Structure 1
């Protein structure tokens, strides 16, 4: 067994004060072994040297916490216990819940999230997907922010997925790169947040609380404190699910086993005391009875100059007085209501954690330096939280007294100001506002949804960038093709212009026709000879032109030129009438127009017309 070491205790105090991690409740034997292992790795001779090392190397805190907080978890860890929970415990628990009632689950010490998602799968199987989304909230907490970050990603590799039954893996996980991600629509029901089991207030109204192989790291005193908080967190029919290495043999007043072998326990509800105050008639010194004590005591409580509030042990309003109603608006109409539903429970200061601490420690707590806005003025309060116990030592409830210390506070401020003026060194007063550490469940869920949406938008943006690059590449290709077409068009225009120049330079009229005798080209000399413009001739049937050629004599020769093999040129001289109406002798020659592919196929004819006088 490890002896108490003042240097080691000083190290723990430093961790608590500078980083907010309270390891003072951990078992010293295992805690010192893990710190010693880290000290060996950085060559520190003792705890004092290691404390100096931490102050010089801030990054060492993260490594130390990862060494101390051994996060060992897996999907369906201890399959037999999970099977029993699914088959025996859950059906009875769900049957006792009203139809449609919300189901609240707490996975304490969730590490990287496998246990929380196992709970999600088990409940989704029991309720159905739609009912799970509507009814279930799973709160998964840990002190290790790095582990919580991994858990929020909900992505696991093949090795972690080996313990998930194949059917559930296909149903509840989606492939994501080299791993698998828990379904996003069910992921929204799992809310992750930081919670220190030793220092922070527990989550309330829980139906199922899992804390597997976490309590074993704490000493007996801290275990008792945590189990008391678990008892407070669970509803009366709530179930506590522990790990194999943990037992509750000495806490039978809080939990009784459903199945001891599988470490599944049910909360033992505490008896409800009678709400309000009941007073007996008291005898006097001479043996007579003083009557009217109930009314007298109630009136005395109500007339108290300080605002007072009495709560039952389970947090219901039992007693109020006039001062409380005047200052906070809480009156006898609120008797029987849960304290957590009243605004006074969190404003002007979070009182629930002080009430819980007073109940656990059985001692009076004072909350000082509380400022409260009342009727346009700021009132300074000192709140006294006192546990109330019966003659047999059992806890009856809690009494809260709100002392108005505004006058004393103002006098103190005046004295401080006068002292500062005498010293001629005026300094601004600094006030420390206590940070209210509460878990806003819906806001956390919204933040996580926004993170998921941001990831989806990022993925869409990357896809759009890829598409843009592809479109840019296609546009470049089309631009190249367009440039090639432009070059080809320019060359074709040059060829056409050259051909037009050649045909215009000929003294003879030239017409080019296709196999259907449709005119494809009509040169300027032909226009001068017959008076038909090129625009009028192109596209017309050659034999239908209204010109002075005797087509009856030309038709056989033209058909022969188009029909097949024939001499390169056939010529005939005819009498014709030109565009001026004069008779002229015209020599007409026909030549077949051959295909360029070398097949000798006739695709048209060239007609050359030359007159002696135009």
Structure 2
């Protein structure tokens, strides 16, 4: 029975994903089921398949369902001590570590109706001053709920929503209208709202401070780990992550280290890039096997290269051929050590021997563009590059690479064809414009002739009226 219930919930979540692009599969299952059941009870529907029908008939119900699933509970200066740590310690450290005119990029993820990013703005403006804040700070506020984002963009809040804002901040940063308090427009321009799904969408990069409070707790542990890896990528080397009270990061010490654990403020842990660790291992003189490791890595990297490549020694003997080249030219183990003139690749797809002679004399790279190879139905286009390998000024060997440019050539041909068609269309348009101008001139000339005729008729009419008056006078 439980499996059947799960299947119906899965069908509902899949329908929501296909219909509106919201993916709730990473959210905690128990929470999703509880909130869906709550919403179904409110519209008096018992089964998920019936609720899918209800959503299809009532498009406005999607917004109600999303509001129930996403909760969107937020407030200004929620957990005041955490914001005090940010203002007293974190922001001054961030500013001190950067040039005085460098930009600051902040990401408020899961911003709901905007209270959190506007709180961040107030904290930074208080520390930096309004002018420096406007000049340097950009706050990217994101959420999956478009309705909440629309509310956030207006920056207008009811009296009950601003109760937790300190009195001096309220007077400094808000303007009161008849029924609402509106965040100052000049500072609001620094806050950019947009939709971003933390599970599916790419993270914003080069972030100095990332604020995501009481959002991760709605996701499964696996999804939380995925999101935290994205946050780690998003932050600059000394970037700071600020989470909510319920989010500890106990199992992610490799990504973030606490600045103030009680307030859930963390700093990004720098990782040594994998390629740097490999390089150190390969060239560490203290490692007896270092040269072997380095050679193996170089040979493996050469062999799996995407383009075909062969290497000849100074006398033109085949020394190496990567996997792509072996497939392309049908080379086997027995071909290693053979002179290139004995191999098919010396003349197919292009004659190489004369180019090799030129290269050995001039010791400069040679490129042969747009060489066609393969049968007509499978024809490919490659650029061939011969590069001298020199040591102590002399020729040590030659690297010959074959870059497949078939798709690029097709694209170039399409661009050329489109350009010709565009030029032809432009010529036709120009002709049409010229014809229209000619027609317009003719119409204008006709109009002038009509005006002249009209004037002549009017003059004739006046003469007739004069003659008529004279005749009446004679009678």
TM normalised by structure 1 equals 0.47
Q: Deviations for 1:504-552, whole angstroms, at most 9, x for unmatched residues?
A: xxxxxxxxxxxxxxxxxxxxxxxxxxxxxxxxxxxxxxxxxxxxxxxxx
Indicate the SS of the match to 2:82.
helix
Q: Which runs of structure 2 are paired with 1:498-513 in the superposition (5 Å)?
A: none
Task: Measure the CA separation in 2 of the matches of 1:274 and 1:255.
Answer: 21
Distance 1:224 1:293, change over 3 A: closer
Indicate the SS of the match to 1:261.
helix
Task: Measure the CA separation in 1 of the matches of 2:282 and 2:237.
Answer: 32
Indicate the SS of the match to 1:31.
helix
Compute the displacement of 1:301 (Å).
6.7
Match of 1:304 among 300, 304, 307: 307
Indicate the SS of the match to 1:196.
coil
Equivalent pair of 1:244/1:263 in contact (CA under 8 Å):
yes
Compute the displacement of 1:298 (Å).
6.9
Distance 1:291 1:209, change over 3 A: closer
Compute the displacement of 1:305 (Å).
3.9
Where does residue 266 of structure 1 map in the other structure? 267
Where does residue 473 of structure 1 map in the other structure? none
Indicate the SS of the match to 2:210.
strand
Query: In angstroms, what is the RMSD of aligned CA positions?
Result: 3.4
Compute the displacement of 1:170 (Å).
1.1
Task: Measure the CA separation in 2 of the matches of 1:146 and 1:180.
Answer: 19
In the alignment, is residue 110 of structure 1 matched against residue 111 of structure 2?
yes
Compute the displacement of 1:99 (Å).
2.1
Indicate the SS of the match to 1:208.
strand
Indicate the SS of the match to 1:25.
coil
Equivalent pair of 2:9/2:48 in contact (CA under 8 Å):
yes
User: What number of residue pairs does the alignment pair up?
Assistant: 312
In the alignment, is residue 236 of structure 1 matched against residue 237 of structure 2?
yes
Q: Which runs of structure 2 are paired with 1:173-322 in the superposition (5 Å)?
A: 173-274=174-275, 304-305=307-308
Equivalent pair of 1:280/1:293 in contact (CA under 8 Å):
no
Where does residue 418 of structure 1 map in the other structure? none
Task: Measure the CA separation in 1 of the matches of 2:166 and 2:253.
Answer: 35
Distance 1:80 1:276, change over 3 A: closer
Indicate the SS of the match to 1:83.
helix
Where does residue 72 of structure 1 map in the other structure? 73
Q: Which runs of structure 2 are paired with 1:211-610 in the superposition (5 Å)?
A: 211-274=212-275, 304-305=307-308, 406=407
Indicate the SS of the match to 1:26.
coil
Compute the displacement of 1:182 (Å).
1.1
Distance 1:294 1:262, change over 3 A: closer
Task: Measure the CA separation in 2 of the matches of 1:216 and 1:37.
Answer: 20
Distance 1:276 1:57, change over 3 A: same
| Alignment gaps of 5+ in structure 1 | 282-288, 307-322, 324-374, 381-401, 411-614
Equivalent pair of 1:11/1:48 in contact (CA under 8 Å):
yes
Q: Deviations for 1:58-116, whole angstroms, at most 9, x for unmatched residues?
A: 22111111111101111100111111111122211221112211110000110110110
Task: Measure the CA separation in 2 of the matches of 1:291 and 1:60.
Answer: 61
Q: Larger relative CO (CA 8 A, sep 6+): 1 or 2?
A: 2
Distance 1:277 1:252, change over 3 A: closer
Distance 1:299 1:44, change over 3 A: closer
Task: Measure the CA separation in 2 of the matches of 1:251 and 1:292.
Answer: 35
Q: Which has the larger radius of gyration?
A: 1
Compute the displacement of 1:176 (Å).
2.3
Equivalent pair of 2:307/2:404 in contact (CA under 8 Å):
no
In the alignment, is residue 172 of structure 1 matched against residue 173 of structure 2?
yes
Task: Measure the CA separation in 1 of the matches of 2:295 and 2:222.
Answer: 46
Where does residue 12 of structure 2 map in the other structure? 11
Task: Measure the CA separation in 2 of the matches of 1:54 and 1:246.
Answer: 34
Where does residue 149 of structure 2 map in the other structure? 148
Where does residue 63 of structure 2 map in the other structure? 62
Indicate the SS of the match to 1:174.
strand
Task: Measure the CA separation in 1 of the matches of 2:148 and 2:302.
Answer: 56
Task: Measure the CA separation in 2 of the matches of 1:264 and 1:225.
Answer: 19
Indicate the SS of the match to 2:266.
strand
Distance 1:186 1:292, change over 3 A: closer
Q: Which has the higher helix share?
A: 2
Task: Measure the CA separation in 1 of the matches of 2:199 and 2:303.
Answer: 39
Equivalent pair of 1:25/1:218 in contact (CA under 8 Å):
yes
Distance 1:215 1:405, change over 3 A: farther
Q: Which runs of structure 2 are paired with 1:114-125 in the superposition (5 Å)?
A: 114-125=115-126
Indicate the SS of the match to 2:262.
coil
Task: Measure the CA separation in 2 of the matches of 1:5 and 1:198.
Answer: 21
Indicate the SS of the match to 1:45.
coil
